[in-house]
Amino acid sequence: MEINKTVVSALKVFLLMFLLIELLVFSGCKENKKQISQDKTKNSIVDTLSESDPLSDVENLYGKLDSIKYTGDTNSYNELSTAYFMANDLHALYYYSLLMANKYNYNRAYLDLYLALSEPFTGEGFEDLDSKTQKLALFYLLKSAELGNTNAKNVLEERFRDRQIPNSSKYSSLN
């Protein structure tokens, strides 16, 4: 009778461990299926965007970049800015944003420079940036708002909630 109790106890432990392992395996499978489903959804979105993506047509892309560089074509810039933003790759447009901001004083380009340097594209929070990069990013944001960009104004209102919004000239020097 003593052996039966030991065998029964061992069987109970074995069954509990077996059930626990099965539970973990099946819940892991559900998570994997969920991740695979999410990946398929992302891929289909990317495929859908790629069909109308101006970045996928190389000749068209180079034409737009030249148009931006030599004539300050805001329509081409806006189209590419939106495409790079949707691809979460706005920093790749940094040179052209800088060109459009400095040479053509284009407000959206200033906002794109701010975005390329800050939160959504760096993987860091704005407060995690070094002080010179913060000043540069704020200069771009302020300049964009001063030139009439509504989105920049909204970001500034959020960032400077209870404080007066400064002028971009305060941040024009990185010293």
Residue 83 near residue 65, CB atoms below 8 Å? no
Same structural domain for residues 93 and 47? Answer: no
The confidence score (pLDDT) of residue 87 equals 81
Q: Establish if 68 belongs to a structural domain.
A: no
Domain for residue 64, yes or no? no
Tens of pLDDT, residue by residue over 113-132, are 998 888 655 556 777 888 89
Residue 140 belongs to a domain: yes
Domain total in the chain: 2
**Would 78 be classed as within a structural domain?**
no
Asked whether residue 44 is domain-assigned, the answer is: yes
Read off the pLDDT of residues 26-66 as tens digits, 9 standing for 90 and up: 555 544 544 554 454 434 334 434 455 666 677 788 888 89
C-alpha distances (whole Å) from 162 to each of 5, 114, 156, 158, 165 are 72, 21, 11, 9, 9
Q: What is the pLDDT of residues 132-146, one digit of tens each?
A: 988 999 999 999 999
Given a cut of 70, is residue 161 above it in pLDDT? yes
Whether residue 146 lies inside any domain: the answer is yes
The verdict on 1 and 47 lying in the same domain is: yes
Query: Is 69 a member of any domain?
Result: no
Taking each helix axis as running N to C, give the angle between helix 58-71 and helix 74-86, from 0 to 180 degrees, rounded to the nearest 10.
Answer: 130
- Please check whether residues 42 and 100 belong to one and the same domain: no
User: Are 152 and 91 part of one and the same domain?
Assistant: yes
Average pLDDT of the chain is 75
Q: What is the pLDDT of residue 59?
A: 78
The pair of three-digit structure tokens given for residue 5, joined into one six-digit string: 């109790």
Domain membership of residue 152 (yes or no) is yes
pLDDT at residue 60 in the model: 80
Percent of the chain with pLDDT over 90: 34
Residues 46, 93: one domain?
Answer: no
Ramachandran angles phi, psi of 164, nearest 5°: -75, 135
Mean pLDDT of 80-104: 89
Owning domain of residue 120:
87-171
Same domain for 36 and 112: no
What pLDDT does 129 receive? Answer: 83
